[in-house]
Amino acid sequence: MYTISNRLKIFSISLIILGALGWSYSYVTSHKSLEEVKEILSHESSHGDSHEVVSHEMESNNHKNAELSHESAEDKHAEHVMHQIHNRPYAALYVAAFFFMMISLGVLAFYGIQYASQAGWSPVLYRVMEAITYYLLPGALIVLAIAIIGDKHIFIWMDPEVVAHDELIQGKSSWLNKTWFVIRALIFIGGWSLYRYFSRRFSLAQDTDSGNKFFKLNFRISAVFLVFFIYTESMMSWDWVMSVDPHWFSTLFGWYLFASMIVSGITVIALITIYLKSKGLLEYVNDSHLHDLAKFMFGFSVFWTYLWFSQFMLIWYANIPEEVTYYVTRIEHYTIPFFGMIVMNFIFPFLVLINSDYKRIPWFIVMAGIVILIGHYVDVFVMIMPATVVDRWFFGLPEISALALFSGLFILIVFYSLSKAPLLAKGNPYIKESENFHY
Amino acid sequence: MGSSKIVHAIYNDDDVLLSAVKMVKDEKFHIEEIYTPFPVHGLDKAMGLEPTRIAIASFIYGCIGFTVAILMMNYIMIEDWPMDIGGKPSFSYIENMPAFVPIMFELTVFFAAHLMVITFYLRSRMWPFKNAENPDKRTTDDHFLMEIDPSNKLKDLEKILIESGAVEINIVEKESH
């Protein structure tokens, strides 16, 4: 049995409090009036910065297009910038909330795959996975809440003013409207949480059951869940991420996000396993289990790169204006995070984890894992930020405090769940095979 | 040294073979070679063989393939006959690089895989028209053969081998090569 230590509790609660304070401060200070923004801009231009940027996103970000049509271009620009400054705390909060929700969802899918494939190596890790997926329900509800409260600050298609002047969004309004968005989100979250609830219950019940009844039940619901998941995950990625750029679309976006999700999820399983092992727990987890997790981290990093590149290359090659604008914005204004994430998500884990022996060394896995997690945070950042704040981005107080807030919440909820059940799923029929797993 | 004696112990089960290897090694006899009809998991560790270095060779071959792809595409598409790729006639390698990534990937895999297989065959001293090295044809079917140097303690070795479950023990004169 694991008991959550006071130090960890205080650490995560202070992360939450610091994050909440920092974010509130940045939220309050982001309420700049038009005059203040003009002052900032004149100050900036006196330093020689140029702000000639008017991209698609900004065009549609202009909420009061009609009223302002007689005003000068400078005023319009200041108006754009003001909205971007207002959007930033919402977007920062949304990126961090989505990132931690995504980890939990990725682990749930991985867990479902373990059951559906009747994996023999992994049952010793089931309790760690179950603990991580405990965050899914609160995490996903928070993402939904931020999406609803953030409203037009994150999703410009939620602004009726914008839709009234945008034929493309009007054409999509049968899918992209608030009511249907919320209903869909509740269906996704409901389905995932239902599976999570029952698989956890069956997993605990199997501990004391003499037969394999609950294991078989879990096998069945996992197969059903995986079918449900791959459809809802795809739709979720259109709704919660892709629709921040409502003009742009990519047909493999769901897979691309799934790759991000599962690699971050497996990384977190590995990190928590190594943490618990360092506390002297999970004594039956040997280096062959770590080796397998690291193989998955390596493999799914390559998988992510494959999908990222497939999406990029086709759009780059075809060079169709409505598609390529997505990458133009990102490469122009997000050069460092955009190319930096390829280094962090592909080149670094590829070179560090390619050697078979290194996949068994805990500190190598931790090092690669931290870089992978930062890389996938940046991946989400580069998906959301260009659509909401365009070039007004910085990794500053709102982003750091949002990250602190949700990492604190994630740690608290996951380790609370870990302390609720024995760390070994001892009733699982494959537990003996898993304990003796040897590569 | 001229000719010396060598012992061939034959087994018909891989688990028995594995435990026999441990017994023979515990008694400090030197195992020359083991012939098996299929790869036996853990045999290399039991025999105390050094881990393979073929992975390092494969990584180097992959790097060579990667470099060849870059040089080749640069020569073909940029230098020798500059191509307008995707309506972006920049004629610079780096700006057209995304179009070459599939080729870079393919040649990396091609070089790594083919050269690794060729290296493996050569390192195992297998090439066309070579005569088989295994001393007993049954090792290609369902028997396992362990070749041991008795080092003047033939009687002790025979006793251990019978104990370890060998189904047949042959003592052969072997020309040293």
Reported as a pLDDT band with limits 50, 70 and 90, residue A52 is very low
Residue B66 and residue B30 share a domain: no
Contact B86 A313 (CB under 8 A): no
Residue B118 and residue B58 share a domain: yes
In a domain, B45, yes or no: no
Q: Is A6 on the interface with B (CB under 8 A)?
A: no
> How crowded is residue A324: how many other Cβ atoms within 10 Å of its Cβ?
16
Q: Is A316 on the interface with B (CB under 8 A)?
A: yes
Contact A354 B59 (CB under 8 A): yes
Overall domain count for chain A? 1
Residue B149 and residue B119 share a domain: no
Rounded to a whole number of angstroms, the distance from the CA of A340 to the nearest CA of chain B is 17
CATH number of the domain bearing residue B167: 3.30.70.260
pLDDT of A397 > 60? The answer is yes
User: Which among B163, B157, B143 has a CA at the least distance from the CA of B6?
Assistant: B157
In a domain, A180, yes or no: yes
pLDDT of A209 > 90? The answer is no
Query: With contacts defined as CB-CB under 8 Å, which chain B residues touch A309?
Result: 98, 101
Contact A313 B98 (CB under 8 A): yes
Q: What is the 3-state secondary structure (H, E, C) of chain B?
A: CCEEEEEEEEECCHHHHHHHHHHHHHCCCEEEEEECCCCCCCHHHHHCCCCCCHHHHHHHHHHHHHHHHHHHHHHHHHHHCCCCECCECCCCCHHHHHHHHHHHHHHHHHHHHHHHHHHHHHHCCCCCCCCCCCCCHHHHCCCEEEEEECCCCHHHHHHHHHHHCCCEEEEEEEECC
Reported as a pLDDT band with limits 50, 70 and 90, residue A306 is very high
* Mean pLDDT calculated for residue range A403-424: 95
Reported as a pLDDT band with limits 50, 70 and 90, residue A71 is low
In a domain, A67, yes or no: no
Residue B161 and residue B115 share a domain: no
Query: With contacts defined as CB-CB under 8 Å, which chain B residues touch A318?
Result: 86
Contact A319 B99 (CB under 8 A): no
Query: With contacts defined as CB-CB under 8 Å, which chain A residues touch B98?
Result: 309, 312-313, 316-317
- The CA–CA distances, whole Å, from A399 to A23, A26, A57, A438 equal 8, 9, 21, 42
| Structural domain boundaries enclosing B152 | 3-37+144-175
* Mean pLDDT calculated for residue range A42-58: 56
- The CA–CA distances, whole Å, from A130 to A124, A196, A200, A378, B137 equal 11, 8, 7, 26, 54
pLDDT of A73 > 80? The answer is no
Residue B68 and residue B16 share a domain: no
pTM of the model: 0.88
User: Could you tell me if the ipTM is greater than 0.85?
Assistant: no
Residue B95 and residue B66 share a domain: yes
Residue B157 and residue B101 share a domain: no
In a domain, A224, yes or no: yes
Query: With contacts defined as CB-CB under 8 Å, which chain A residues touch B87?
Result: 319
List strands edge to edge, sheet with B30-35. Answer: B30-35, B144-149, B3-11, B168-175
Residue B150 and residue B115 share a domain: no
Contact A317 B99 (CB under 8 A): yes
Q: Cα separation of A233 and A102, whole Å?
A: 10
Q: Is A312 on the interface with B (CB under 8 A)?
A: yes
Q: For A64-73, A419-428, B129-138, which range has the lowest pLDDT when averaged over its residues?
A: A64-73
Mutate to test the interface with B, among A309, A311, A314 (most CBs of B within 10 A): A309
Of B55, B88, B101, the CB nearest to A356: B55
| Structural domain boundaries enclosing A356 | 6-31+78-425
Residue segments in chain B with a per-residue pLDDT below the cut of 70: 1-3, 175-177
pLDDT of A92 > 90? The answer is yes
Query: With contacts defined as CB-CB under 8 Å, which chain B residues touch A355?
Result: 55
pLDDT digits (tens, 9 = 90+) for A266-293: 999 999 999 999 999 999 999 999 999 9
In a domain, B136, yes or no: no
Of B55, B88, B101, the CB nearest to A313: B101
The rounded mean pLDDT for chain A is 91
Overall domain count for chain B? 2
Q: Is A155 on the interface with B (CB under 8 A)?
A: no
- Phi, psi for residue B144 in degrees, rounded to 5: -115, 135
In a domain, A192, yes or no: yes
Q: Which residue of A has its CA nearest to B52?
A: A356
In a domain, A55, yes or no: no
Q: For A296-310, A365-379, B127-141, which range has the lowest pLDDT when averaged over its residues?
A: B127-141
Q: Cα separation of A26 and A32, whole Å?
A: 11
At A55 the pLDDT is 46
Q: For A69-73, A142-146, B79-83, B110-114, which range has the lowest pLDDT when averaged over its residues?
A: A69-73
